[in-house]
Amino acid sequence: MPDLCQSVPNTDSMTETLIDSTMEEDSAEFSRAVRSALSHLYDNAYLQTHPLTVMWTAGSYGDRLSQAQDLRRSLLDCIERLRPHATAPGDAARVYAVLSYRCINGLTIEEIEQKLGLSRRQVYRELTKGINAVAEQLLDLLEARGARTQQVPSETTPVTSRRELAEVELERLTKAVQLDAVLLPTVVEGVCRLLVARLEQRSMAVDIALPGSVPPVLADRTLLRQALLNLLSYGLDVLPNGATLQVSAGEAEGVVRVTVRRNLAAIAQSGGHATPPQRREGVTLQVAQSLIAAQNGRLVLEESADDWSAEILLPTAQTPTILLIDDNQALIDLFQRYLAGHRVVVHGTTSGTAALRLVRQAAPQAIVLDVMMPHQDGWEILQALRQEQACATVPIIVCSVLREHDLALSLGANDTLVKPVNQSALLAVLRRWLGTLHPAEPLPPVWYREAQAVHSTQTPARAES
């Protein structure tokens, strides 16, 4: 007779198996999140909206850039803890070398293969080991901070409120931010044209008083247009019919201040009385604040019983422009990530012909040039650049695996970098020729100034606009 007990499922065993399976899935998801963060270690815009940053800060609000930088420092610390001791086995040394070359120095898989004499399969295997080791360390740190209270947020998590939908859209927009020199009059006039119908319906007007002396701002044209559109729309919502807004601007100490103010002079001339603005909080203004912050700017809103004004502060575009010339697009992307935290405009190209065109168009203050390029090597490009009038005195830094410092200088270069190049080396050589590279720290978020009190936009919304 068969033993019937053997056919009864062991519920304890099944429960343990199910728990183990769930934990393995969570661990794999967490490791994937760590992998993506390490792949964009120097991409501030990407890290600011990364699920790990949300977990690291326990979902709190605040300066997203500072939070992203804190996460990056922690990831770098985790990698550094994997640095093997002199007596450590070779496996540990390979894991650390592959991880640091790939995530810190930005080498391609092919470059790591050549540098360490490993097969592609070995490189990927050691890289996976390293990422998993970093994930384990970070998980321990999260648990010590009490921050891991839920699963890794997914990019496909359903959203229901307007605020959540706005946050998802903002994440998409800020990942693609492209800072460049933007002419304010063109942007302001374009935005006002979009509001003509609304202004006519409300018998309102916008006076544009932008002096020709205002320099271009360092911004993303699309994001700046949307931020201005949101801010002016908010003004139309809170001000009474017949109100007039005035847009003016000025520059001081490398910052352009754009002021949008209710024109009280027009009211006084007509003998009327100013109707107090109806203060509102909601998605429209918060989106404007986030878009300006993504461009390293600040938005300040001042409301009182008889006045309404807003100020947008943005860095001027009178910042160094750097041209990167390398046939390896991955290296250009790496250098752009290295420079992402500084007030510089970066252009990159993989061909000599395009480089000459960019020199004429962008007028760079420094050029970083690779010399081992197909079809037209860097030495030829160097000589061609020196024949360009716009490039006669521009510092050119030759960047190559070859140690040809004397040759580079004799052909017209000013300095050299030897690959692989880390962030510190790149910044050091650029500072030698450009001076101080100012950090691109975002200014504090939107503030309301009402009477003598200052209120943050992070207070609960009372009405969504």
pLDDT digits (tens, 9 = 90+) for 1-51: 444 333 434 444 444 443 344 445 567 788 888 998 898 887 777 787 788
Predicted model pTM: 0.42
What is the dihedral angle through the alpha carbons of 128, 131, 136, 137, rounded to the nearest 10 degrees? Answer: 150
Among 128, 157, 186, identify where a domain stops. 157
* pLDDT classification of 87: cutoffs 50, 70, 90: low
The average pLDDT across 280-297 equals: 78
**Residue 264, SS3?**
helix
Q: Peptide bond before 420: cis, by omega within 30 degrees of 0?
A: yes
Pair 90, 189 in one domain: no
Pair 294, 328 in one domain: no
* pLDDT classification of 345: cutoffs 50, 70, 90: confident
**Residue 162 predicted with pLDDT over 90:** no
Identity of residue 386: R
Pair 183, 61 in one domain: no
**Residue 398 predicted with pLDDT over 90:** yes
Pair 84, 131 in one domain: yes
Pair 241, 307 in one domain: yes
By residue range, what is the domain housing residue 213? 178-317+445-456
What domain count does the chain have? 3
Pair 147, 247 in one domain: no
436's CB contacts (< 8 A; 6+ apart) are: none
Q: CA angle, corner 406, sides to 357 and 386, nearest 5?
A: 20
DSSP result, 126-190: HHHHHHHHHHHHHHHHHHHHT---SPPPPTT----SHHHHHHHHHHHHHHT---EEE-HHHHHHH
Give a yes or no: residue 341 inside a domain.
yes
The average pLDDT across 409-419 equals: 90
Tokens of 461: 């919304």
Pair 108, 190 in one domain: no
Pair 45, 142 in one domain: yes
The average pLDDT across 298-327 equals: 85
Mean pLDDT rounded to a whole number for the chain: 77
Give a yes or no: residue 243 inside a domain.
yes
Among 106, 127, 157, identify where a domain stops. 157
**Residue 260 predicted with pLDDT over 90:** yes
Distance CA 326, CA 349 (A): 7
**Residue 52 predicted with pLDDT over 90:** no
Pair 301, 449 in one domain: yes
Pair 8, 120 in one domain: yes
Pair 148, 28 in one domain: yes
